[in-house]
Amino acid sequence: MTDDTRDSGNGLIDRQTTGEDRVRMVARQLAEPKTVNWIASEAKWSHEPTKRVLERLVDDGILRRDDRGAHTTYYPDYRHQMMQEAMRLRDGSRTADELTNRLAKMKAQIREWKTEFNVDSPNQLRATLADEELGPDEETRRRDIAREWDHLQRRIQVVGLAIREWDLLTPAERAEAGN
């Protein structure tokens, strides 16, 4: 097989995207603040052009920059991400009622965990790993539940925003057609 026909994981991405595209993809998927060097390495691009792209993303309100530490770090503007996700939910094929039902299921799941473990937060659940004698399977289960709980809390915020702002988030073409 030639290099053109074989895809070694990221080969296709490397061939079909620019360095700027790769920086944008890496930056939008950050879960925690990262340095220019880290982002450049992940994007397989050099430091200076990566820094320029990151600064444009900061200027556009997509990323935030933190200069407080030893190294400048970049991280997603979570408000921007939340609005984008709420708009995707609104633009999708779901109705407000379907999203409301989804919200209720997520909240019910969290209530079940609160009752089962007698805790009020994912971190309190994590603390039970130190407080109680648990087997490895139960420790893994609780860690997994705590991660899922964190995830559900974020999803509840996004879905709640989409429901609260349902009319505001109506795509422009639908809003104009209704006038």
Residue 2 covered by a domain? no
Q: Which of 76, 107, 125 is the last residue of a domain?
A: 76
CATH of the domain at 31: 1.10.10.10
pTM: 0.64
Please state, in angstroms and as integers, the Cα–Cα distance from residue 70 to each residue in 20, 64, 113, 143, following that order: 25, 16, 39, 31
**What is the rounded average pLDDT of the residues 134-162?**
94
Q: Give me the pLDDT at residue 122, please.
A: 96
Q: Phi/psi zone of residue 72: left (φ > 0), alpha (ψ -120 to 50 degrees), beta? A: beta
In a domain, 1, yes or no: no
Residue 91 per-residue DSSP state: H
In which domain, by residue range, is 68 found? 11-76
Instruction: Give residue 9's pLDDT band: very low, low, confident or very high (50, 70, 90).
Output: low
What are the residues whose beta carbons fall under 8 Å from the beta carbon of 75, sequence distance 6 or more?
Answer: 30, 32, 33, 34, 63, 64, 66
The residue out of 48, 76, 104 marking a domain boundary is: 76
Q: What is the mean pLDDT of the chain?
A: 86
In the block, which residue shows the tokens 């895809």? 7
Q: Could you read off the pLDDT of 40-62 as tens digits, one per residue?
A: 999 999 999 999 999 999 998 88
pLDDT score of 7? 44
Q: Are residues 55 and 108 in the same domain?
A: no
Look at residue 6 in the predicted model and tell me its pLDDT.
Answer: 42
| One domain, residues 72 and 98 | no
Are residues 169 and 99 part of one domain? yes
Whether the predicted pLDDT of 5 surpasses 60: no
Residue 4 binned pLDDT confidence (cut-offs 50, 70, 90) = very low
Q: Does 102 fall in a domain?
A: yes
User: For residue 114, what are the contacts with CB-CB under 8 A and spacing of at least 6?
Assistant: 120
Query: Mean pLDDT throughout 23-32?
Result: 88
For residue 3, give every residue at least 6 positions away whose Cβ sits within 8 Å of its Cβ, in sequence order, or none.
11
The terminus-to-terminus CA distance of the chain in angstroms comes to: 58
pLDDT at 83: 87
Residue 41 is assigned to a structural domain of this protein = yes
pLDDT above 90: percentage of residues in the chain = 63
Assign 76 to helix, strand or coil. Answer: strand
- If one counts the domains in the chain, the total is 2
pLDDT at position 22 is 95
114 pLDDT more than 60: yes
Q: Please check whether residues 121 and 156 belong to one and the same domain.
A: yes
The pLDDT assigned to 173 comes to: 57
* pLDDT band of 68, cuts 50, 70, 90: very high
Task: Provide the pLDDT for residue 94.
Answer: 82
In a domain, 5, yes or no: no
